[in-house]
């Protein structure tokens, strides 16, 4: 359960009173999520999500995330809308943390997405990339190469206690990516964490996207690589080419990938696997045992990384034939 910061009834009542959304009727902590504290809040006018931003979110980045949600919603993408208080503010403070209230999105995330869900994801990912094209703010990806190196420096001493041999394996991969990392590909706003738990479905159709707190400006194809990793592997660690095909075909109906992007996908997928291996290893080593959060398994991303290391050409993913 991701609730790191407790909020008292009195604090929340007076916080909600500064919005035009009716009085607080009830609230409870939300079990899902890893990064921030989330509460489901009921008021006289309906349901809202209250987020208190925790460790990995830099307060200076919050205006980018909140403005991005407003920008995407204005372009027809289904995502939460930050609620403005009576003074027009979306970013506030509560219980000593930066905080925002956002609209509640209908739908459910899927534990085991099927082929049609991968197609839905591919379409909405491309729509996100297109809708973000004229977003006027910019934010670098602090979880790309330099960020991975910094995370590695933080975890290397104890990495082998998480998985034997992990320290050297990550060092070798970092060295490879430092030398070969892609450049010159189309860039724009990316979600950067569009895992199945951040995509809601209703009747097997995407009903909306949440959790924009890793969004940044980077290579669009890197976002595709994050999704290949998160959506196209089976629980037994096998790569599902049919899901990959469904996802990319749907993506390309909205935004065709260039030859250079397709060719770079195996490398980008290695980078994306390393990124989540590193953050999961960091969290494994640093999450307080009393924290109400379910820490995610680093080994899952080591298996995905090893899979991509064995790929010699993008045709090994069944790419280039869709
Ligand atoms: N706008 C929303 N509408 C409905 N539920 C939401 C919304 N935002 C978050 N949630 C719920 O809160 C959970 C955690 O949200 P998320 O943004 O993924 O947290 P974290 O940033 O901590 O990972 C989601 O899995 C979902 O159940
Ligand atoms: N998707 C990341 C963890 C971030 O959690 P989220 O709840 O913000 O999606 C992972 O799986 O490691």
pLDDT tens for 209-220 read 999 999 999 999
Asked if residue 146 belongs to a domain, the reply is yes
Same-domain check for residues 204 and 82: no
pLDDT tens for 97-153 read 999 999 999 999 999 999 999 999 999 999 999 999 999 999 999 999 999 999 999
Share of the chain above pLDDT 70, in %: 95
Which pLDDT band holds residue 295 (cuts at 50, 70, 90)? confident
Asked if residue 145 belongs to a domain, the reply is yes
Asked if residue 225 belongs to a domain, the reply is yes
Give the mutation target among 195, 212, 293 for probing the ligand 2 site: most ligand atoms within 8 A of CB.
195
pLDDT tens for 158-189 read 999 999 999 999 999 999 999 999 999 999 99
Pairing of strands 205-209, 187-190: unpaired
- pTM score, whole prediction: 0.94
> Residue 317, Cα to own-chain centre: how many angstroms?
23
CATH number of the domain where residue 280 is located: 3.90.1200.10
Q: Which residue's alpha carbon is at the smallest distance from atom 12 of ligand 2?
A: 276
pLDDT tens for 224-261 read 999 999 999 999 999 999 999 999 999 999 999 999 99
CATH number of the domain where residue 87 is located: 3.30.200.20
Same-domain check for residues 99 and 135: no
Q: What is the domain count for the chain?
A: 2
Give the mutation target among 193, 196, 281, 296 for probing the ligand 2 site: most ligand atoms within 8 A of CB.
193
Same-domain check for residues 168 and 121: yes
Same-domain check for residues 203 and 177: yes
Same-domain check for residues 41 and 140: no
Q: Which of 59, 80, 103 is the last residue of a domain?
A: 103
Q: How far is the CA of 215 from the centre of ligand 1 (A)?
A: 15
Which pLDDT band holds residue 320 (cuts at 50, 70, 90)? low
User: Which ligand neighbours the alpha carbon of 292 most closely?
Assistant: 1
Which pLDDT band holds residue 292 (cuts at 50, 70, 90)? low
Same-domain check for residues 60 and 190: no
* Spatial distance between the Cα atoms of 234 and 28, rounded to a whole number of angstroms: 33
Measured from CB, residues less than 6 Å from any atom of ligand 2 are 33-35, 193, 195, 197-198, 211, 276, 279-280, 296
Asked if residue 4 belongs to a domain, the reply is no
**DSSP string of 130-166?**
HHGGG-----B-TTSHHHHHHHHHHHTTTHHHHSTTH
Same-domain check for residues 77 and 161: no
Q: How far is the CA of 16 from the centre of ligand 2 (A)?
A: 28
Same-domain check for residues 186 and 245: yes
- What ipTM, to 2 d.p.? 0.94
pLDDT tens for 26-52 read 999 998 878 899 999 999 999 999 999
Share of the chain above pLDDT 90, in %: 89
Show the CA angle centred on residue 291, arms to residues 49 and 209, nearest 5°. Answer: 30
Q: How far is the CA of 187 from the centre of ligand 1 (A)?
A: 27
Same-domain check for residues 99 and 157: no
Q: Which of 81, 103, 125 is the last residue of a domain?
A: 103
C-alpha dihedral, 162 to 310 to 187 to 298, nearest 10°: -10
Residue 95: which of 214, 213, 14, 23 has the closest Cα? 14
Q: Which of 103, 129, 152 is the last residue of a domain?
A: 103
The residue segments making up the domain with residue 197 are: 115-317
Q: How far is the CA of 296 from the centre of ligand 2 (A)?
A: 8
Same-domain check for residues 188 and 257: yes
Q: How far is the CA of 18 from the centre of ligand 2 (A)?
A: 31
Same-domain check for residues 183 and 45: no
Tell whether the model's pLDDT for residue 204 goes beyond 80: yes
């Amino acid at each position: 359960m991701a609730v790191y910061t407790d909020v008292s009834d009195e604090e929340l009542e007076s916080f909600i009173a500064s919005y035009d959304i009716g009085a607080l009727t009830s609230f409870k902590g939300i079990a899902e999520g890893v990064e921030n504290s989330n509460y489901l809040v009921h008021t006289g006018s309906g349901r809202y999500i209250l987020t208190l931003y925790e460790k990995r979110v830099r307060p200076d980045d919050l205006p980018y995330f909140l403005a991005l949600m407003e920008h995407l919603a204005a372009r027809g993408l289904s995502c939460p809308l930050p609620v403005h208080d009576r003074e027009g503010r979306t970013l506030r403070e509560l219980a000593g943390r930066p905080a925002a209230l956002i609209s509640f999105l209908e739908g459910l995330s899927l534990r085991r997405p099927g082929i049609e869900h991968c197609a839905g994801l591919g379409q909405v990912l491309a729509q996100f990339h297109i809708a973000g094209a004229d977003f006027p703010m910019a934010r670098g990806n602090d979880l790309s190469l330099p960020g991975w190196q910094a995370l590695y420096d933080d975890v290397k001493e104890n990495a082998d206690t998480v998985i034997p041999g992990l320290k050297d394996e990550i060092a070798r991969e970092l060295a490879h990516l430092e030398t070969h990392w892609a450049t010159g590909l189309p860039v724009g706003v990316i979600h950067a964490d569009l895992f199945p738990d951040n995509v809601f479905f209703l009747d097997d159709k995407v009903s909306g996207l949440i959790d924009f707190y890793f969004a940044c400006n980077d290579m669009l194809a890197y976002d595709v690589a994050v999704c290949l990793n998160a959506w196209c592997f089976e629980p037994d660690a096998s790569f599902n080419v049919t899901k990959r095909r469904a996802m990319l075909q749907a993506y390309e109906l909205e935004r065709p990938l260039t030859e250079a992007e397709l060719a770079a996908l195996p490398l980008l997928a290695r980078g994306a696997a390393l990124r989540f291996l590193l953050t999961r290893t960091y969290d494994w080593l640093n999450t307080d045992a009393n924290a109400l959060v379910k820490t995610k398994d680093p080994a899952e991303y080591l298996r995905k990384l090893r899979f991509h290391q064995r790929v010699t050409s993008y045709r090994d993913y069944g790419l280039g034939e869709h």
